[in-house]
Amino acid sequence: MMIEISQFGSERVRKYRLVNVAGMQVTLTNFGARIVEVLVPVEDNGALRNLTMAASSDEEYLTKDSYPGATIVPVAGRISGAQTSIKGQVHFFTENEPGRTLHGGVNTANEQYWEAEVDEEANAVCFTIELRDGFNGFPGNVHVKARYRLTEDNVLEVSYTAQSDKDTIFNPTNHVYFNLTGDVNQDIAEHYVRIAAQTYAPLGESNLPLGRLEPVEGTPFDFRTGGTFAQGFGLEHPQNQLVKGYDHPWVLDQVAEPVEIVSPDQKIRLTVETNQPAVVIYTYNFPSEDMAAFHGAFSLECQGLPDACNQEGFGSILLEKDQLFEHQTRYSFKWQ
């Protein structure tokens, strides 16, 4: 199908609309290599329901919240001490929170205009950017590709590839937010959630992982047999109290579809497949209320464990010189 291209705010930004035979649509923008909308024809009158938190232009994202839907590179999540050691050499990063680096620092790729290439035969758009050596302190010129493809069986495929000319660290994710009711001013508490995970990473006061994994069993983090976000919104567990909901990584079991979310009206089912070891789910506990309500959306950030570069036993996010990095995540949608 033809991919429709339109302006999306300032002169440099474009929006790309992918459509499949089922009537599903995905809109993307080169501003932050970002998912803008995921629309499915589920309403009784045949109207489309948008399942994501979205803004109407690059200016609106910059003014309100620049993370929703964006590609987060080079490193998603927080880096403790705003530093790490890479093969014995200490590197210091931009502090954009006190004593730590969040989502790669300031003015990074989620606020940049990526190059775009349309592949109408594949119903895909590929965005590319060059992360310059030393930007926000990260070593290496890193060439990054973000590719989005909408399949005919209602799967949004997200893939990231990267290569660096120096040893560096790299742990990307997509920061799309969902609310399957179609209304980000509605609380997500009654969404059904299933996560195939035996452990999660508890956080400390600075929202950094404490450096250990704990069993989900007997906690509001246990979604192995299904539950709702409401089980953590009562804030009875200290970890939920700390962040006013969820903002935690789960270590995923190696199964085909480790994450499943169903809308409260049971009309929409979203499942996630990924080659990444963890998913971070953030329930928009500190909202930009012009974008969405408190607990009005949830993220599904598939990635390596946050702060893995500084936490023993959290796996490696080292990207060696000339090594090819590959990340695949598939969001599958069914509706009735």
Question: Which residue in the list 175, 248, 295, 327 is annotated as catalytic?
Answer: 175
Q: Is 248 annotated as a binding residue?
A: no
Query: Is 143 annotated for ligand binding?
Result: no
Is 177 annotated as ligand-binding?
A: yes
3-state secondary structure 57-107: CHHHHHHHCCCCCCEECCECCEEECCEEEECCEEEECCCCECCEEECCCCC
Label residue 280 exposed, middle or buried (CB < 10 Å: 0-12, 13-18, 19+). buried
Active site (annotated) includes residue 301: yes
Out of 37, 95, 157, 301, the active site residue is: 301
**153 marked as part of a ligand binding site:** no
- Verify whether residue 327 is a known catalytic residue: no
- For 100-148, the DSSP string reads EEETTSSS-GGGSB-EEEEETTTTEEEEEEEEPTTGGG--S-EEEEEEE
* Residues with Cβ within 8 Å of residue 288, at least 6 apart in sequence: 64, 65
Amino acid symbol at 195: I
Question: Between the CA atoms of 25, 29, 35 and 37, what dihedral angle is there, to the nearest 10 degrees?
Answer: -40
- The residues annotated with a catalytic role in the active site are 175, 301
- Residues annotated in a binding site for beta-D-galactose: 175-177, 247
- Residues annotated in a binding site: 175-177, 247
